[in-house]
Amino acid sequence: MPAILLYPLSFLLVLGVMIVVHEWGHYAAAKLLGVRVEVFSVGFGPRLLGFRRGDTDYRISAIPLGGYVKMSGENPMDEATGDPGEFMSHPRWHRFLIAIAGPFMNIALAVGLLTTLYTVHHERLAVADEPALIGWVSDDSAAAKVGLRAGDLISSISGIANPDWRQVMERVALGPNQAIPLAIKRGSETLNLSIVPEPIGSNRVGNAGFEPDEPVEVTSLSKTMPAAKAGLLKGDVIVSADGVQLHAVAALLQHLQDVKGQPVKLAVLRGSQEKEFTVQPVLDRRDGEKTPSYRMGIGSLRTKVSTLPLAEAWRESLQDNRRSSLLLLELLQKLIRGKVSIKQISGPIGIGQAAGDAVQEGLEDKSWFSLLELMAAISLNLGIFNLLPIPIMDGGVILLLFLEGLMRRDISLAVKERIYQTAFVFLVLFASVVIFNDVTKLPWFG
């Protein structure tokens, strides 16, 4: 399928599922509690098509960037008639349940998707749960500037004792231009340092300039590149290059740049056999890179794949979603404080790109694991974002209900009107900035 169709259709598929699930939560809670639902819309703006059943118009609208459920008497600016089917006629705890049902359904979908996925395919980086032993440090990086070396063990980061590599990667990614305390074990000594990751890439995530200590295993090969032509195979482990021992694939890439395209002698372990190959690197520029680099055409992304029993998959899904929720809240908190760039947040264009890539991968590999993971992540983020205490959003409705409960009276319509107007302007500006940043991240921009 042409990319010009694949990416928009993938975006509509993924976002459409999220919207329907979210709005169905509001709809089901409203119907259960006796609130009349007038409109169930996927999309905003003019009605394109749909049907009416009972009191409800089920429709698809022109702007596919969200959706809504319109309940009778929901707008606080409308005059209440006292009709028991109106939203404002119901007690606050009813309105609270209706407001929270949408985000709840998104979070439940995220948990359900990962639980289902993990029963058939539970994939992790091979080093994710391993101790944070450094295998390579880039020259002139943040790690090099504070004196970190290959063989150092990170025994503490940001107060987390004995972290695994996943925890280290999360702390670094969320800490660009921020001092992060580290404790390093080097032989018998313990060093207390502070590292300031540098923002990299279009998303401006933190990068410390070190890599895990792990075998350089060939996990993928480009048939047209030198490594495959020289005879390397998937599963080979590259032990050394020109006699230099390798403890990270980044060390091999650095060596290729250092020798500037000269032939490289590789010592390779294939099963229990030791083999030697001579490979001639070539200049190659990947998508999104401004300048080409010397490469030989291998990938070395080591993962562990397993299947989990249903109960264990459920526990793992809950744990992963909890971790992702806390990271998202930390990101938002740092964003408000100006500690991280808003470019770390993706909008509709970024979501469309990710969805298109996941669908493309599924079509090529006949595997939909990446798409399910992406949908779970988007659903969780949508649920959390809607719970933020911003008026117009579900979290704003919940906040106002909470305040009215404390005050034991309704907030005046004039005050609510000003609150909603201000919140609307804020959301429009925020969405505009996020979409603009999405555009600037496109490979062809600039």
Average pLDDT estimate for 231-242: 95
Whole-Å CA distances, 207 to 54, 142, 180, 184: 56, 8, 12, 18
CB atoms closer than 10 angstroms to residue 100 = 21
Cβ–Cβ under 8 Å, residues 76 and 87: no
Which is nearest to 131 in space by CA: 101, 165, 100, 166? Answer: 165
**Whole-model pTM?**
0.87
What is the tens place of the pLDDT at every residue in 86-145? Answer: 998 899 999 999 999 999 999 999 999 999 999 999 999 999 999 999 999 999 999 999
CB atoms closer than 10 angstroms to residue 161 = 8
The reported pLDDT for the residue numbered 351 is 84
The reported pLDDT for the residue numbered 357 is 84
Residue with tokens 């359900």: 112
Q: In terms of C-beta density within 10 A (0-12 exposed, 13-18 middle, 19 or more buried), how is residue 247 classed?
A: buried
Cβ–Cβ under 8 Å, residues 102 and 22: yes
Cβ–Cβ under 8 Å, residues 56 and 39: yes
The reported pLDDT for the residue numbered 78 is 67
Residues involved in catalysis = 23
* Ranges assigned E (strand) in 174-224: 180-186, 189-195, 198-200, 205-207, 210-212, 216-217, 220-221
What is the tens place of the pLDDT at every residue in 169-181? Answer: 999 999 999 999 9
Kindly write down the DSSP assignment for every residue of 151-182, as one continuous string: T-EEEEETTEES-BHHHHHHHHHT-TTS-EEE
* Ranges assigned E (strand) in 271-371: 273-279, 282-284, 293-295, 298-299, 303-306
| Confidence band, pLDDT 50/70/90 cuts, at residue 284 | confident
Average pLDDT estimate for 66-86: 82
Whole-Å CA distances, 411 to 94, 402, 418: 17, 11, 11
The more confident residue out of 352 and 206 is 206
Average pLDDT estimate for 16-45: 94
Domains of the chain with CATH codes? 134-210 (2.30.42.10), 216-301 (2.30.42.10)
d(CA 38, CA 71): 5
